[in-house]
Amino acid sequence: MNDSPMPSPLLAVEALSVHLRTDAGLARILDDVSLTVPPGRTVGVVGESGCGKTTLMRAILGILPRSAFVPRGAIRFEGRDILADRAASARGRIGFVPQDPYLSLNPVFRAGDQILEIMRRHAPGTRRDHRAKLIELFRAVQLPDPEAALEKYPHQFSGGQRQRLLIAAALSCDPALVVADEPTTALDVTTQREILALLRRLAAERGLSLLFVTHDFGVLAALCDSVTVLYAGRVAESGPTRAVLDDPRHPYTRLLLACHPDRASDLTGIPGTVPAATAQPAGCRFHPRCPIARADCANAPPPLLSLPGGRSIACPHHADALPEPALA
Amino acid sequence: MSAALARLLRDPVSALGLVIVLFAVVVAVFAPYLAPYPEDAYESHLLQRLRPPSAEFPFGTDNLGRDILSRVILGTRNALVVAVSVVVAAMAIGIPVGLVAGWRDNWVSDVLMRLTDVFLAVPQLILALALGQLMRPGIETAMVALALTYWPFFARTVFAETRRLRGALFVDALAGIGARPTRILLLHVLPNALPAVLVRATIGMGFTILTAAILGFLGVGAAPPSPDWGLAVAEARQHLPEAWWFPTFPGLAILLLVLGFNLLGDGLRDAADPRLRRSRR
């Protein structure tokens, strides 16, 4: 069906649900989310704030909050279920580039020492090997004066340098997969471009898979082979990036793309807000905001339909045209 | 840490504070050897009452004929022991409370922080006076009262830092690789709060010395014949204005040591906080 058949996935999120016990009741942060990252590919996850992007990422990294639990689903990494079997968890094989580089490192310890400690846990070799490798990585991420950088504290780096430092940290244990959480939102535009170019180059050089969480379609188009659109904890649509961006099918994706300042003629946005995770609407979670919602949308969650070209979409009415005012 | 010390010494005002405090520590440690008349801590010589300063008695003598210089020197040890004990006791209560309350986000946290607010609201002197009435008035009672009213400052400082860092990624990562909360709090979160705690402790030392002197003056602190600075000022009141030297030198000692601790505390705040370092360069 697909022009380039996807190899067996490195990471497979299978019908994952993550719920959270809160004072306001059960918060269904993620429901029935599936996603695959093939080796050497870059996969993007997009959605508004509060749609579960960060929780998905934390589940993959094994750092869910204490009040979270997983009622259903699995996360397979290199074939093993890393949620069920903590011992088999992907120690050192999944790198992480966080969104805010500031408090990702403890301010009272030297940045280099903190990365070396991770390497001591997860990477083979002696302390001397680790140091040499880290200096080399610092050079690869273009940190100025790599030897001196080892001795510095986190606050002695600029924002862009800190992000480079964390990319080096993410790569320090030779991961197969790097998960990046909007790694450029805290940076100014010129630095953003450099960091994105760096990530793309490093991923290509090292044959890395990237899972890229973002809400920037520009970043998505530039970096990702395929994309999964999340809405209120469910997959709305997924498929190859070009296909999804050029011809969005789910009404949410269509509206989201129409909101992009480059494309929108006026900045109306999508009416309404993302529902609270404790009060998800029945049926399709987008139907209260959806311009083409029908009565049956409130009955049951729509199944994910497979479309030609490796796409899938969670809307039975995706062929309907949106009313003009919504896309004005 | 040595870099922080170098920065501290570069600032003349902070360096002065450090010199005063170190000088006081040396005086306290070697007090019995430095004092010209060490036995004057408890003996009295009624024949030489209220002598003005002279070569024999540089600070003069008090109402019982004791050498004031000797008693000021001997009193340094009392002042520092009281200050250190009170601040250490306050830290021993306040730091664990702050860590636990900052880490948790449930009723435990609420109870601890409201309790902290209650103690923060109690006026230090009033509690000390009340405890003095309930228990036996004395320096021990005063120290209990001071520690009971000073721990909330540590609790709040540590609480704020713990809350700030609780959601930090490095904390999540530590929890993710299986670190216990005690380990995370003591080895990774507390060091972040230490500069603030250190500053608070240093200023607290000066504050405690001052309050202990006030309590001594009011008669609910140190009891005679203990060589206490506040007590000396109180005893001197009846001999004013003739014996001006009697309250002046113990008073100057209080002033100098409190000033030293405050200057040092301010200097430490500027020098030891890693987040302020860059801006000071």
pTM as predicted = 0.78
Chain A CB contacts of B278 under 8 Å are 155-156
Is the pLDDT assigned to residue A312 strictly greater than 60?
A: yes
Closest partner residue to B192 among A63, A108, A156, by Cβ?
A: A108
Cβ distance A58 to A83 under 8 Å? Answer: no
Contact A108 B176 (CB under 8 A): no
Is the pLDDT assigned to residue B181 strictly greater than 80?
A: yes
Contact B170 A104 (CB under 8 A): yes
Confidence of residue B116 (pLDDT cuts 50, 70, 90): very high
CA distance A137 to A123: 14
Closest partner residue to A155 among B169, B170, B275, by Cβ?
A: B275
Chain A CB contacts of B194 under 8 Å are 108
Q: Does A153 touch chain B (CB under 8 A)?
A: yes
- The alpha carbon of residue A86 is apart from the nearest alpha carbon of chain B, in Å, by 10
Closest partner residue to A103 among B165, B175, B277, by Cβ?
A: B165
Size of interface A-B (CB pairs under 8 A): 39
ipTM of this predicted structure: 0.73
Chain B CB contacts of A66 under 8 Å are 175
Q: What pLDDT, on the 0 to 100 scale, is given for residue B275?
A: 55
Is the pLDDT assigned to residue A6 strictly greater than 60?
A: no
Would you tell me how many other CB atoms lie within 10 Å of the CB of residue B120? 14
CA distance A239 to A260: 19
Q: CA A136 from chain center: how many Å?
A: 27
Sheet with A25-37, strands from edge to edge, namely: A25-37, A11-22, A68-77, A80-81
CA distance B98 to B159: 4
Q: Does A93 touch chain B (CB under 8 A)?
A: no
Chain A's closest residue to B179, CA to CA, is: A63
Confidence of residue A108 (pLDDT cuts 50, 70, 90): confident
Q: What pLDDT, on the 0 to 100 scale, is given for residue B1?
A: 56
Reported as a single tens digit per residue, the pLDDT across A173-187 is: 889 999 998 887 777
Chain B CB contacts of A109 under 8 Å are 191
**A11-22 and A25-37 beta bridge pairing:** antiparallel
Select the residue from A108, A113, A121 to test the B interface by mutation, using most B Cβ atoms within 10 A: A108
Q: Does B121 touch chain A (CB under 8 A)?
A: no
Average pLDDT over residues A9-22: 90
Is the pLDDT assigned to residue A87 strictly greater than 60?
A: no
Closest partner residue to B275 among A61, A63, A107, by Cβ?
A: A107
Reported as a single tens digit per residue, the pLDDT across A19-28 is: 988 888 888 8
- The alpha carbon of residue A173 is apart from the nearest alpha carbon of chain B, in Å, by 15
If phi > 0 it is left, if psi is from -120 to 50 it is alpha, else beta; for residue A21 that is beta
User: Could you tell me the two tokens for A129?
Assistant: 């090997």
Place of tokens 């609420």: B110
Is the pLDDT assigned to residue A107 strictly greater than 80?
A: yes
Contact B169 A100 (CB under 8 A): yes
Confidence of residue B277 (pLDDT cuts 50, 70, 90): very low
